[in-house]
Structure 1
Amino acid sequence: MFKYLSIFLILFGLQHGAVAQAPVKVEEGFDYRVLTITQPIDTKGKVEVIEFFWYGCPHCYEFEPELKGWIKRQNKDVVFKKVPIAFREELMPHSQLFYALESMGKGDTLNDKIMFAMHRENKRLLNENEIADWVAAQGVDRNAFLATYRSFAVLSKARAANQLGNSYRIDGVPTVAVQGKYITSPSIAGTRAKAVNVMDFLVSKVRKDGYK
């Protein structure tokens, strides 16, 4: 009896495992979109992935843990970039903040803290003084930050980020672009988890297509 029970459990386990590990179905037009005009990418022979985001977006904040986990398990042929989008002129300070910290080598350290401050501590960080005060409280020299924040280079990057978003026809965030031609997001795919599965699918597709 125990012999037959063991065989049954093994077979059930194998069958159950096969179901659990079945590949997720990904469909063009439902889970991702193909851009009408392919956008140029900066790195040849690799997979370029861009997340268009906004610090103040609650959906971006919620997506961040899944996104970080996805980034950590990528091969070296995947190049990931974050691009801030300001859908209104009054939100441009957030894009400037992103590029100022990036220029100072502080982005990786402070980006998560900024989102936490905005979404858990109800800070808006929308005017220069408030932003500078907050950054200084994180141990960054206030005057050095302001000089970088106001610089032509940072202002140009913030404007260019919006132009790039327009080229990709970004109308909501977070949105992920792969290889300048594919677009997906939690809202397009339906859930954050499904969006991550779609990103895996698209990266594999680009590899199979010879990084085209």
Structure 2
Amino acid sequence: MNEPIDLSTRRFLKAVGAGAAVLAAGCASRPKGAVPEEGFEYKRISPAVPTVAAKGKIEVVEFFWYSCPFCNAMEPLIHDWLGRQPADVAFRAVHPGISPSWRANQQLHYTLEALGKADDLRKSVFSAIHDGGMDLGRRDQMASFAAGLGVDRQKFLQAFDSPAVAAKMREATDLAKAYRIDGVPMFGINGKWLTSPSLLGGSYTETFRVIEYLLALERKGTA
């Protein structure tokens, strides 16, 4: 982004990098492919967080931030992983507003979601920010960007300023707090578990392996 990142976000990114290095050293002592261990590769959420998935479905929540370079790197991998999932997996992407600098991206996401365009334009938003260096920090910039992708500009602005989008933003941040999210990308599984690349030495591949393990626990009803 062209707009400077605020101090809290700089500290967050620095902490994630430092934490990943420390965790990588810890993970190196565990055999590759070992059964994931609670407290290391994943955490238990207590009390459990209510889910919105339909009965018989297992909810997977991705917490992300459009301007996060790690989320951008993981985006195509998530897309491929979702294409291999059975019908019992209910996935949803949640954009919290943990830091003030995240809220512009957050409002963009929930405006696109209100218009039924968030999934279709997700890749385009990531690409505009990370590949194109586009500044999507202001309302008019976002509206012009969305219009360039075929979204009705007036409808975008109406949704952007709507109480419904404001409510979705609060709901997303409240959910992140319930899961005790302190960075992104992170993944909540069925309201009970939390895992992330930062818990796995920065490995995206291992993150999906742990998610699969937790999904299996939920299917067995042994969690």
Identity of aligned residues (%): 38
Letter in 1 for 2:71: C
Q: Is 1:89 the counterpart of 2:100 in the alignment?
A: yes
Q: Who wins on radius of gyration, i.e. which is larger?
A: 1
Secondary structure, in 3 states, of the residue corresponding to 2:187?
Answer: strand
Secondary structure, in 3 states, of the residue corresponding to 2:40?
Answer: coil
* Aligned counterpart for 2:37 among listed residues 27, 31, 38: 27
CA distance in 1, matches of 2:196, 2:42: 8
Count of paired positions = 190
CA distance in 1, matches of 2:77, 2:170: 28
Alignment of 1:41-60 (within 5 A): 41-43=51-53, 44-60=55-71
Q: Is the 8 A contact 1:47 1:79 kept in 2?
A: yes
Deviations 1:69-92 (A, max 9, x none): 111111111100000022223421
Q: Is 1:200 the counterpart of 2:212 in the alignment?
A: yes
Q: Is the 8 A contact 1:31 1:189 kept in 2?
A: yes
* Aligned counterpart for 1:38 among listed residues 33, 36, 48: 48
Q: Is the 8 A contact 1:55 1:61 kept in 2?
A: yes
Q: Is 1:158 the counterpart of 2:169 in the alignment?
A: yes
Q: Which stretches of structure 1, 4 residues or more, deviate above 4 A after TM superposition?
A: none
Q: Is 1:112 the counterpart of 2:123 in the alignment?
A: yes
Q: What is the aligned-residue RMSD (CA, Å)? A: 1.5
Q: Which runs of 5+ in 2 are unaligned?
A: 1-31
* Aligned counterpart for 2:160 among listed residues 123, 128, 149: 149
**Structure 1 residue 176, shift from structure 2 partner:** 0.2
TM-score normalized by the length of structure 2: 0.81
TM-score normalized by the length of structure 1: 0.85
CA distance in 2, matches of 1:122, 1:116: 8
CA distance in 2, matches of 1:83, 1:113: 17
User: Which residue of structure 1 aligns with residue 145 of structure 2?
Assistant: 134
Q: Which moved more, 1:197-206 or 1:67-76?
A: 67-76
Q: Is the 8 A contact 1:66 1:196 kept in 2?
A: no
Q: Is 1:76 the counterpart of 2:87 in the alignment?
A: yes
CA distance in 2, matches of 1:122, 1:94: 14
Letter in 2 for 1:36: S
CA distance in 2, matches of 1:188, 1:133: 38
